[in-house]
Amino acid sequence: MPSREEQEARIRDLVKGGAVDEAATAGIRAFGGEIFGLIYAIHRDEADADEVFSIWCERFWRGLPTFQFRSSFRTWAYTIARNASRDHLKMERRRERRQTPLDQFPASAVAEEVRTATRTYLRSAARDRFTELRSTLDADDQQLLILRVDRQLAWNELARVFLANDDEEPGDDAIEREAARLRKRFQLVKAKLYELGKREGLVSKAD
């Protein structure tokens, strides 16, 4: 199986060569599973997760021709997912639910394959009590834990994701400040999860 660096390089070459549809297919195959896993963990509802994933696929595909390579494709993919999730929650609050069919772009077959396989895995995977406790945190804290612990994003990559803005690229100073803020927030979230674990008897009080 190709390494993450090899996958990134292939997508970059395809984009630079103008093969956007092929690049989208390669990107969704490379990152789609972990993106859907994050979306599902945040929304806790299959219909919502399906819709947000569809929005992510469409935006990923449409955004590839103008991607500036200031970050890795993986970081950019998580940025799009965070924006899609946030926009979906806003639409839900306004009760303006919009379905984005997966058959509207060339990589639809691969997107559906990835979504179905990941959803099946998530349904069958045994969930431990710490995972249950993590789901009680607010959406931003859950995303921080998942992206830092499960996906192992570097702090500057996390900062790019959390500073996600469709209008402008964050500067280096903003990224450094956000990375520092997220480090502090991460420690607070870990402490909160630890205390919840103690209450549930999952962590010894002597630990």
Q: Which amino acid is at 87?
A: D
Structure tokens that stand for 21 in this block: 């549809």
Q: What is the dihedral of CA 72, 73, 76, 80, to 10 degrees?
A: -170
CA distance 103 to 43: 23
pTM equals 0.74
Spatial contact of 82 and 143, defined as CB atoms under 8 Å apart: yes
Question: pLDDT digit of tens for each residue in the chain (207 aa)?
Answer: 788 899 999 999 999 999 999 999 999 999 999 999 899 888 878 888 899 999 999 999 999 999 988 889 999 999 999 999 888 877 765 554 455 555 556 667 777 877 777 766 666 553 556 677 777 888 889 889 889 988 899 999 999 999 876 556 788 899 999 999 999 999 999 888 888 777 766 555 544
Helix (H, G, I), strand (E, B) or coil at 25: helix
CA 19, distance to chain mean position in Å, is 24
